[in-house]
Amino acid sequence: MKNTKSKTISVKKVATMTGAYFIAWFFLYPYINMFLTSVRSHEELYAHPTTHLPQAWQWRNYLDVWDNAPIANFLKSSLIISISATILALVVSLPAAYFLARYRFKFRGAFLLLVLATQMFSPTALIIGIFREVDFFSLLDSYLALIILNAGFNLAFSIWLLAGFFSSIPIEIEEAALIDGCTRIQALRRVTIPIALPGVVTAIIFTFVAAWNEFTIALTIISSINKKPLPVGLTQFIGQYDIAWEYLFTATIIAIIPVVVLFIVIERYLVSGLTAGSVK
């Protein structure tokens, strides 16, 4: 009986591991293929038949992209826009979400649904109105326009997410801090936000990645080559009659590095307890 049970567990374990490896390979293969393409020569890409691995590893492609294309400017623009938009969205969404979580007012539920409904509007569908409004305020071809727009389009999700995290934190914790002499702002900064840190980190990730990958608005508003963010700058490798796949994928590899680094740095906060250190 024990042998049968042991065999059953072993089969399940093997099946689980096999399925996990298959799923991992399914998601990793595009990135592996992108990397292998980035280190091939242009002639080899169009050679027949092609091989799985490059015949000659062209590491020079990374230097050529960095030296001959304004990748550094694209990267700088994306960092300025994404970091600034994330900070702006967080500064606005934290107090708004806290108020929604702690105060009950008339039509609160309808307001939350309205906030969430704004996520249904795609920037592409509103691009004409956005362009005219940015032009009205003389913000065309500026970082400020992209910072405000990226923060605005991600603000609703951050408010909704953080309001849920704040609502799950017992109010007694803040009341204890108030009794000990903290003001409401101090209780929020020293008690509530540290407990809700996983939610704050999630909002940061979502906003940063969304701003980093935004393409349509940046393509419409930014015209100077030195101010274009990476998603728009990558289009320079796509010509009318030919596509420099090796350089396009090389620049794409460079573009995903900051996002990967961000996940590595804040991954530990994502798995921390939501109410760590609260009342037991």
All structural domains of the chain with their residue ranges: 2-38, 70-270
CB 81 within 8 A of CB 145: no
When comparing pLDDT for 123 and 155, which is higher? 155
Lowest mean pLDDT among 26-30, 42-46, 130-134, 216-220: 42-46
83 — pLDDT class (breaks 50, 70, 90): very high
pLDDT at position 278, please?
Answer: 42
Both tokens of 35, joined, read 């990397």
Confidence tier at 9 by pLDDT (50, 70, 90): low
What is the three-class DSSP state of 60?
helix
| Alpha-helical runs (H) found in 103-142 | 108-117, 127-136
- The domain covering 70-270 belongs, at the CATH homologous superfamily level, to MetI-like (1.10.3720.10)
CA-nearest of 73, 196, 190, 78 to 143 is: 78
Residue of higher predicted confidence among 138 and 9 = 138
Task: Summarize the confidence of residues 35-39 as an average pLDDT.
Answer: 84
- Global pTM reads 0.80
pLDDT tens-digit series, residues 168-213: 888 888 888 888 777 888 888 888 888 888 888 888 888 998 899 8
Say how many C-beta atoms besides its own lie within 10 A of residue 102's C-beta.
Answer: 16
Three-class SS of residue 30?
helix
Residue whose pair of structure tokens reads 């849920």 in the numeric block: 164
* H-only helix segments in the chain: 2-38, 42-45, 60-68, 71-102, 108-117, 127-136, 143-167, 171-179, 184-187, 193-195, 197-213, 216-221, 230-233, 245-270
Q: What is the pLDDT of residue 4?
A: 56
